[in-house]
Amino acid sequence: MTPRRRWALISIAAVGTALAALVVSEDKQVAEVAAPVERAPNAPAKPAAAPPEPISTQLPVRAPIGRQRGDPFAARSWAPPQQPQQQQAEAPKPPPNPYKFAGTVHHDGQRKVFLLLADRVIEAKEGDRLAHGYKVQSVTADAVTLVYEQMPDQPVTIATVFSDPAPAPAAGSTAPPPAK
């Protein structure tokens, strides 16, 4: 070993020893402050500290685990357990029909049907696309048939409650003769 290396090791050892002595002296100072002061001969005696309790060598008592819930040696799988299948899933249904029959109008020899949606009146013509995903499939004298576009196989029928009125007599005609 070279002299330079030897002096480096001695220096490190000296610094470590000084540091250890400094830490130990601080611990002694704390111990001296915490140590009881000698009492005067006439001073009342302080009660002696209670002796430390003996260390128990007994293990703590534990509650039983309970019944076993399965075979501990059964094969394990990472797949989640299968849920029992519910009865046949119900076929999807279109949302509730928001439209109501409002009335009909005869104008220029054509009959027009109107539907009510909340506070709006909408004319229903065959093939029209309506709000909320509905389409007018057909318009007849008895009913308006709507189809929810995502489920075209389930039509919704709105009955036209108001029947077509009898044609009004032409102006200037006479009343029918009274029945006998």
Domain boundaries, the chain: 99-159
180 residues of the chain, pLDDT tens digit each = 798 999 999 999 999 998 888 777 655 555 555 555 555 556 555 666 677 777 778 888 888 888 878 787 887 777 777 777 665 566 777 888 888 988 888 888 888 889 998 888 999 889 999 888 899 999 888 889 999 888 888 888 888 865 555 555 555 555 566 665
For the 99-159 domain, the top CATH level (class) is mainly beta
Model's pTM, two decimal places?
A: 0.41
Instruction: Give one word for 14, left, alpha or beta, with left for phi > 0 and alpha for psi -120 to 50.
Output: alpha
Query: Which strands make up the sheet holding 99-107, listed edge to edge?
Result: 99-107, 110-117, 120-124
Tokens of 57: 């060598």
- The single-letter code of the amino acid at 72 is P
Distance CA 164, CA 116 (A): 19
